[in-house]
Chains A and B, each alone.
Chain A
Amino acid sequence: MPGDKPPFEDLYRDYVGRIYAYLRSQLGSAADAEDVTSHVFVKAYEAYRRYEPRHETPSAWLFQIARNAALDHHRRSGRRERMERALAREPAPSADPGVMAQERILYRELMSAVAELPERQREVIGLRHSGLSFLEVGQLMSCSEDAAKMLYHRSLKALRAAMAEREAPSPSSSSEES
């Protein structure tokens, strides 16, 4: 029933994958996303007795914890250090599309491109595609529902431009050919 507090195990099983995906989109590396996901659920478990479902949905409550954890992680790590760790830990994409399905390559590129967006653009895309409504996104990001929608649409355009830039041939390749 609405307002009933589910057992923590149910919450965990329902959300661990979504929280991981959200953090992957914010942090850029699988290892960092795992570390911070662990941290989120430890905090959530310790705070669960104080959680009141009549004040906010489990989704909003958990993603608030996750958002704070991601922001803390960014503050502690410099951007360069973060990207270096991401490059060092991630397996290099295979040059042979047969090894990894084309879709998985695209998803990986998309998540990586989201992680490189400016903070609020990265956040709004991450939260929206983690299943939150624009109202919930606005509440978490301290803006109105309409402002969240506008920010989201601007962010989509920015993401599309970033993806196009990734796919464009590099200037060095054209100079080698000439």
Chain B
Amino acid sequence: MSEHDEQDGLDQLERQLDAAFAATRPRRGFEDELWARLEPRRRRIGIGWSSLVPLAAVGGAAVVLLAGVVLVAVGAFSGGFHGGGAASTASRPADSGGGVLATGRTAPGAFAPAALPFGPVPAPPNAGVSQVVQDSRLSPLPAAFRVAIPDTSLPQPGTSITVFRYDPNTGPPSGAILEPGALPPGIGGGAYPSRPAADALADASARGAGANQSAQAGAAVTLTQVRLVYVAVVAGDEGFLEPAYLFTGTYQNGGDAVTAQLLLPALAASAVR
């Protein structure tokens, strides 16, 4: 077969494929049946179906709702977070010299589950489990750890911190760790109650990961650094970027010191399911 004939054959096959795809349609009635099944979801979610409802059409209530849910002011982070700044809407998380976005301070205990913008969020995978970082793989370590970080260097966030929600079809996979300045653009967030790093460590220790559980000093992970990160957590159809403290340090494996890490949620227990 000449090259010309071969190309003619392929061109014909392309046309046949175009026609086949155009002619392939679901059985009669399928389209309307599926549409009818989507309708209860529309009512549950409560947004307009045939058109986007302009905010102005529903008055100030929608604007107030958005201001409470979508992310906002930038706080500076230098060994700690500082809540502050008036709330405003933003569609892109902004980085302020390594700072983390946080809303203004609120009184302790002011958050009730109903006030959590996305409801209680799922706990990050492997949270609270010391892991060794070796050859880009993570392996669980014995639970004991000791903290070699001055108390004054432990992050002290404001009483609230931002959680972001994203579409898991197009965002980072569950378990991915992102720096605050490298979050995907165009995702919304909301304020969640936070806890200081010291409280997170105390909680982990009480659950059996503390150094006082270890009989041998060499068996514990020594934590020497901490920073705030965001962890991607996918649950069903939703993805969340949740703030967490990433502690790093070393673990003595025989005569070798390996890099270890411990990830603890930066959210208050009431915000995590």
Cβ < 8 Å to B, chain A residues 118-168: 125, 129-130, 153, 156-157, 159-160, 163
Q: When each residue 66-100 of chain A gets 1 if its CB lies under 8 Å from chain B and 0 otherwise, what string results? A: 00100000000000000000000000000000000
Interface size classification for chain B: 35 or more
Which residues of the partner chain A approach B37 to less than 8 Å between Cβ atoms? 38, 42
Secondary structure dominating the interface of A:
helix
Cβ contact of A65, chosen from B35, B51, B169, cutoff 8 A = B169
Q: What is the CB-to-nearest-CB distance from A66 to chain B, in angstroms, rounded to a whole number?
A: 10
A46 to B42, CA, bound (A): 9
Cβ contact of B14, chosen from A24, A30, A156, cutoff 8 A = A156
Residue of B26, B52, B187, B237 with most chain A CB atoms under a 10 A cut-off? B26
Cβ contact of A103, chosen from B19, B38, B45, B237, cutoff 8 A = B19
Our count of residue pairs bridging A and B at CB distance below 8 angstroms stands at: 108
Residue count of chain A within 8 Å CB distance of chain B = 50
Cβ < 8 Å to A, chain B residues 32-81: 34-35, 37-38, 41-42, 45, 47-52
User: Can you name 14 extra interface pairs (CB under 8 A) apart from A17-B25, A41-B38, A50-B167?
Assistant: A5-B52, A16-B31, A18-B21, A21-B21, A25-B21, A37-B30, A51-B167, A52-B186, A111-B21, A111-B24, A129-B20, A129-B21, A153-B10, A163-B13
Task: Point out residues on B near A: beta carbons under 8 Å.
Answer: 9-10, 13-14, 16-27, 30-31, 34-35, 37-38, 41-42, 45, 47-52, 165-167, 169-170, 186-188, 237
Task: Point out residues on A near B: beta carbons under 8 Å.
Answer: 5, 7-9, 12-13, 16-18, 20-22, 24-25, 30, 33-34, 37-38, 41-43, 45-47, 49-52, 55, 61, 64-65, 68, 103-104, 106-107, 110-111, 114, 125, 129-130, 153, 156-157, 159-160, 163
7 shortest A-B CB distances, which residue pairs?
Answer: A107-B20, A21-B24, A129-B21, A110-B20, A20-B26, A21-B21, A129-B17
Can you offer 22 A-B residue contacts whose CB atoms are under 8 A?
A: A9-B35, A9-B50, A12-B38, A16-B26, A17-B26, A18-B21, A20-B30, A21-B22, A21-B24, A25-B21, A34-B26, A37-B30, A41-B34, A50-B166, A106-B16, A107-B16, A107-B19, A107-B20, A110-B17, A111-B21, A130-B21, A156-B13
